[in-house]
A = this chain, B = another copy of it.
Amino acid sequence: MRQTVEKFGYVEYGASILEPTELYKAKTGEEIINEQTYSFKDRGDRDVTLRPEMTPTVARMIAHKKRELSFPLRWYSIPNLFRYEKPQKGRLREHWQLNVDLFGIENLNAEIEIITIASEIMEAFGAKDTDFEIRINSRKNLQQIIESKIKKTEFYTKAIKLLDKKDKMSEEDFTKLWSEISDESPDFEQNQPQNIKELIEKLNKQDINNVIYDPILARGFDYYTDIVFEIYDTNKENPRALFGGGRYNDLLDIFGAEKVPAIGFGMGDVTIGDFLKTRNLIPEYKPTATLYIAHAEGTDFETINNIAKKIRDIGVNTIVDITDKKVSDQIKRASKENVLYSLTIGEKEIQSGIFSLKNMQTGEMKELQEKELFNELRSI
């Protein structure tokens, strides 16, 4: 995730996990804070919350420093987030989430860049474009349609939340709940809004072809202002959005800054982890150490540590076995550590200056003089 977003020049930022509870009230405009947060009073009698999402935090940060910053800004972070809800498939009380945001661009190039990044992260994980699809909608357009259908203006938020959950409920349940807020049919199929059409065309030209228009796509958060998107697994047995985002041009206003156009997405580790597991795409564990140095009985550790230092200094991560175990047990341990090479050092090696480097995968041994040893290690 890091590699892909940095390819696009995004810069990492950080923030405290502890936020004033007010931050989330301000955002939603509601007086009651979401029941699902970890909120408490600190010893200074302040209402504080463990952040449940990152967008309000980054919006606040940028609003407060707006005059010192120069736009556009490309920022990313991989924070941990807390929600107090029943742990279930795809939702844990604590999870980590990549957040990628672009501030200061009003035009559609921003949507293209952000969706391209989302798509390239999927590809970097090894997903093929038949494994996932990118659903796009205009929240603005959806709003107009909803407003033309609902019985009362106050039902708007209810309607958005219902549409957001449509995929997770039965057709029957949906129809029943919909009839409570609208007398009209829940039919949203319309002509594609102009910006959606243009966006899809341009993404296609950049070889991103798994994009579709989804007229009921809503996304839960209140702050989206126009284009929203979600990445879906094409496996129909997993009908949940993997992750998503959208444009939120008005969020910085709340913090007293002038308008700053903004767009971004969040990608949680649990949902994407589940997706990668079912597709067998979880990256392989890469051991930290490359070389393991074992020692013959009674060998002077100062000499071994000094050799190890020289090897580490040429960039080879090295474990020195400092136990009192037999050489054979030390080598067993080396293989448990998954190192690529091992080296056994005793008085004989120190006196002769000839070392035997063992390739732990093939079992091959190479007899090398100190200089050759270093050349060999440098070439790893």
CA distance A322 to B105 in the complex (A): 8
Q: Chain B: which residue is nearest A84 at the CB level? A: B43
Q: Are A113 and B320 in contact (CB under 8 A)?
A: yes
Contacts A10-B288, A110-B322 given; indicate if A202 touches B116 (C-beta within 8 A).
no
For the complex, give the distance between the alpha carbons of A302 and B203 in Å: 9
> Cβ of A258 < 8 Å from any Cβ of B?
no
Inter-subunit contact A206/B105 (CB<8 Å): no
Q: Is A239 an interface residue (CB 8 A)?
A: no
Report yes or no: A9 in contact with B288, Cβ–Cβ below 8 A: yes
Of the candidates B10, B72, B116, which one forms a contact with A323 in the assembled complex, judged by CB atoms under 8 Å apart? B72
Given A94-B16, A305-B112, the answer on whether A312 and B7 have CB atoms closer than 8 Å is yes
The residues of B that contact A288 with a CB separation of less than 8 Å are 6, 9-12
Copy number in the complex reads 2
Chain B: minimal CB distance from A37 (Å): 9
Interface residues on chain A, number (Cβ under 8 Å): 55
Q: A8 contacts B116, CB within 8 Å?
A: no
A301 at the interface (CB under 8 A from B): yes
The 8 A CB mask of A53-91 against B (1 = contact, 0 = none) is 000000000000000001010100000101010000000
Contacts of A174 in B (CB 8 A): none
In the complex, A18 has a CB within 8 A of chain B: yes
Report A249 CB to chain B, min CB distance, Å: 16
B-contact bits for A200-237, CB 8 A (1 contact / 0 none): 00100110000000000000000000000000000000
A178 at the A/B interface (Cβ < 8 Å)? no
Contacts of A255 in B (CB 8 A): none
A337, CB-defined interface residue at 8 Å: yes
Which residue of chain B is the closest to A319 with respect to CB atoms? B9
Residues of B within 8 A of A6 (CB): 288-289, 317
With A9-B337, A288-B10, A319-B9 known to touch, is A202 a contact of B18 (CB < 8 Å)? no
What is A's interface to B at a CB cutoff of 8 Å? 6-12, 16-18, 35, 38, 40-44, 50, 70, 72, 74, 80, 82, 84, 94, 105, 107, 109-110, 112-113, 116, 202, 205-206, 287-289, 292, 301-302, 305-306, 309, 312, 317-320, 322-324, 333, 336-337
List 16 interface pairs A-B (beta carbons < 8 Å), by A numbering: A8-B318, A9-B317, A9-B319, A11-B287, A12-B288, A16-B80, A18-B50, A18-B82, A40-B41, A107-B322, A109-B301, A109-B322, A202-B302, A206-B302, A206-B305, A206-B306
